[in-house]
Structure 1
Amino acid sequence: MAKLKLTSAFCRDVTCPPHKRKEVYRCTEVIGFGLEVRASGKTYWLYYTKPDGKAAQVKIGGSSDIPFDVAKRTAKELRSKVVLGGNPAEDKAIRKGTITFKELAQMHIEHAKGHIRSHGCVEMSYRKYLVPEFGRLRIDEVMPHAIETHFAKLRARLAPASVDRLRLVMNRGYRLAKGWGLPGSDRNPVEAVARPKYDNKRTCLLSPEQVKRLLGECGKSENTMLKPIVQFALATAARKREILDARFEHVNFDRAEWLIPHTKNGHPRTVPLSEAAMAVVKALPRKEGCEWMFTNPSTGKHYITIKRAWKTATEAAGLPGMHTHDLRHAAIGAMVSNNVSLHVAGKIAGHLRPESTARYAAVADSTLAAAVEAGARNLNLMGKAA
């Protein structure tokens, strides 16, 4: 090993002595900066002492790939980390073992398949919106500002709640990575991304006339199951997926009850069926060997979606922009407006938290107001003749 001031010209012209396998030249200007010369090529290194007192070295790069000035500047930066107690070689090893965001996405998707029913949403979030933007980066290279910028672009074409769902999926991925002890997962960049403020709570109320128009258009649909699906939704306040996955075996005809074994919150629930709901069930066509209540005639299986038929019917009924989930809101609102308590309505709907049903408090308040007005009129409190 020789010590001298390394220069660009020296590093360009020096060759490996013919009687040696290699020669190392250490710079006297930048402590630890060195050039290793072999017959096969030249490599810049930083030689240093680790915090535990042991010697270490970290490769900066080949002289044919990195200009001398860049190598020298990099050596200074690495040296400053050493002075502050860092270990560049260990850091490099960690970076080398750090997976890409695309690899983390695949691990998260596989985990979701075994733990949540809505794993399709996780897969779609990564495939359409997250991996195309961050997939090639290591997980420790994804920065909060880059996430903020990407989400800002997506808000131009997605609803705020949809963008926030992407934030939640991404955050969950990093939390899993940390729980698994993956290299590079000690920092979660999503935690520094501000959650947008938005209100996507809907309390859609339908008048009897609107229901009549909607059912009339549903009855005209090419999808012959659309009308009974909508009727059943309005009669039970169930979620769309719960209805489309409904099976005859879960209906107790004697007690007029419907068991929903798989719900969004993971808790099975039993829904009492009104006369209207039972009428819908009894009128459904039943084919031997078919377990589904609302069977798609073209496939013989349950429906995956009714989006196209629903859009056509709602627009024809003068209710454009109405969501299928609004049927659930309308059913809950109808119960509350007919003096059903928020607690009971929430239990029928399968709400685990009172806050989920609290949005219908305004409906309950208007019902109470109408009740006291009716009582006052009955008592002739205004002094008018009966």
Structure 2
Amino acid sequence: MAKIKLTSAFCRDITCPPHKRKEVYRCTEVIGFGLEVRQSNKTYWLYYTKPDGKAAQVKIGGYTDIPFDVAKRTAKELRSKVVLGGNPAEDKAIRKGTITYKELAQMHIAHAKAHIRSHGCVEMSYRKYLIPEFGGYRIDDVTPHAIETYFAKLRERLAPASVDRLRLVMNRGYKLAKGWRLPGSDLNPVEAVARPKYDNKRTCLLSPKKAERLLTECGKSENTMLKPIAQFALATAARKREILDAKFEHVNMDRCEWLIPHTKNGHPRVVPLSAAAMEVVKALPRKEGCEWMFANPATGKPYVTIKRAWKTATDDAGLPGMHFHDLRHAAIGAMVSNNVSLHVAGKIAGHLRPESTARYAAIADSTLAAAVEAGARNLNLTGKAA
């Protein structure tokens, strides 16, 4: 090993002595900066001492791959990390072992399939949006600014809630990576991404006439099960997937109760069935060997989706843009407007938090106001003020 001030000209002209396998030249100006010269190539290195006192080295790059001034500047930067207690060689090894965002996505999807029922949303978020944008990056190369920029572009064509769902999926993926102690997962870039403010809470109320019109159009659908599905939704305030996956074995005909063993929040619940709901159940066709209440007649299995039939029915009923989930809101709203307490309505709907039912408080308030007015009229108090 020889010590000399490394210059661009020196590195260009120096060759390895014929009788040696290699020769190392250490720079006297930039501590640790060195050039390794072999018969076949030249390589820039940084030689340093690790925090534990052991000697180490990290490759900067080949002489023909990077200019001398870039190699020298990189050596200074790496030297600064060493002075601050860093270990460039270890950092490089960690970075080399860091997986791509696409690989993390595949791991997250596999985890979702094993642990949550609604894993389809996770898979779709990665497949349609996140992998095409970030899949080629290492997980530690995805920056908050890149995420913000992409989400801003998506908001031009997607609802704020849809974009925020992607943020939640990304955040969960990075949290899993940190829990699994994957290289490069120390920092979660999503945590620095501002959560957008939006209000996507819907409180749909259907008048008897609108409900009748909707059910009439559902009855005209090519999907012969659409009307009983909609009727059952209005009668139970259940979620769409809960209804589509309902089984006859979970209905207690004597007690007029329906057990939902698998719900969105993971807690099974029992729903009391009204006379109207029981009429729907009794009228459902039953085929031997079919356990599903609202089975697709063509497959004997639950419907994967009813979007097309639902859109046609709502458009024809003069209710464009109405979501199937609005039937759940309408059912809860109907209960509250008929003096059912928010607590009881929330329990029937399967809300774990009172805040989920709180959106119907305005309906409850209007019902109370109507009750007060009715009482005043009954006592003939109107116009009696002194």
Range that drifts further, 63-72 or 318-327: 63-72
Q: Does 1:284 align with 2:308?
A: no
Query: How far apart, CA to CA, are the structure 2 residues paired with 1:295 and 1:222?
Result: 14
State how 1:188-203 maps to structure 2 within 5 Å. Answer: 188-203=188-203
* Off by >2 Å, runs of 4+ in structure 1: none
Query: How far apart, CA to CA, are the structure 2 residues paired with 1:127 and 1:350?
Result: 31
Partner AA of 1:321 in structure 2: G
Aligned to 2:183: 183
Aligned to 2:343: 343
Aligned to 1:258: 258
Query: How far apart, CA to CA, are the structure 2 residues paired with 1:3 and 1:85?
Result: 25
Give the SS at the match of 1:58: strand
Aligned to 1:106: 106
How many residues of Structure 1 are paired with residues of Structure 2 in the alignment?
384
Partner AA of 2:55 in structure 1: A
Aligned to 1:318: 318
Partner AA of 1:380 in structure 2: N
Q: What is the CA distance between 1:13 and its match in structure 2?
A: 2.3
Q: What is the CA distance between 1:27 and its match in structure 2?
A: 1.2
Aligned to 2:16: 16
Partner AA of 2:247 in structure 1: R
Give the SS at the match of 1:297: coil
Aligned to 2:76: 76
Give the SS at the match of 2:56: strand
Give the SS at the match of 1:61: strand
State how 1:1-386 maps to structure 2 within 5 Å. Answer: 1-383=1-383
Q: What is the CA distance between 1:52 and its match in structure 2?
A: 2.0
Alpha-carbon displacement from aligned partner over 1:21-42 (angstroms, at most 9, x marks no partner)? 1110111121111111112211
Query: How far apart, CA to CA, are the structure 1 residues paired with 2:42 and 2:136?
Result: 30
Structure 2 segments unaligned to the other structure (5+ residues)? none
Partner AA of 2:64 in structure 1: S
Give the SS at the match of 1:24: strand
Q: What is the CA distance between 1:182 and its match in structure 2?
A: 1.2
Alpha-carbon displacement from aligned partner over 1:325-374 (angstroms, at most 9, x marks no partner)? 00000000000000001011000000011000000000000000000000
Q: What is the CA distance between 1:7 and its match in structure 2?
A: 1.7
Give the SS at the match of 2:149: helix
Q: TM-score, normalised by structure 1?
A: 0.98
Give the SS at the match of 2:357: helix
Query: How far apart, CA to CA, are the structure 1 residues paired with 2:8 and 2:132?
Result: 41
Query: How far apart, CA to CA, are the structure 1 residues paired with 2:294 and 2:382?
Result: 54
Give the SS at the match of 1:299: coil
Fraction of identical pairs, as percent: 90
Alpha-carbon displacement from aligned partner over 1:99-134 (angstroms, at most 9, x marks no partner)? 111111111111111111111111111111111111
Partner AA of 1:54 in structure 2: K
Partner AA of 1:218 in structure 2: C
Q: What is the CA distance between 1:185 and its match in structure 2?
A: 1.1
Partner AA of 1:66 in structure 2: I
Partner AA of 2:166 in structure 1: L
Query: How far apart, CA to CA, are the structure 2 residues paired with 1:176 and 1:28?
Result: 46
Query: How far apart, CA to CA, are the structure 2 residues paired with 1:166 and 1:202?
Result: 21
Partner AA of 1:276 in structure 2: A
Structure 1 segments unaligned to the other structure (5+ residues)? none
Give the SS at the match of 1:370: helix
Query: How far apart, CA to CA, are the structure 1 residues paired with 2:355 and 2:310?
Result: 29
Q: What is the CA distance between 1:176 and its match in structure 2?
A: 1.0
Query: How far apart, CA to CA, are the structure 1 residues paired with 2:225 and 2:64?
Result: 70
Query: How far apart, CA to CA, are the structure 2 residues paired with 1:310 and 1:91?
Result: 55
Partner AA of 1:302 in structure 2: P
Query: How far apart, CA to CA, are the structure 1 residues paired with 2:271 and 2:289?
Result: 25
Query: How far apart, CA to CA, are the structure 2 residues paired with 1:143 and 1:98?
Result: 15
Partner AA of 1:198 in structure 2: Y
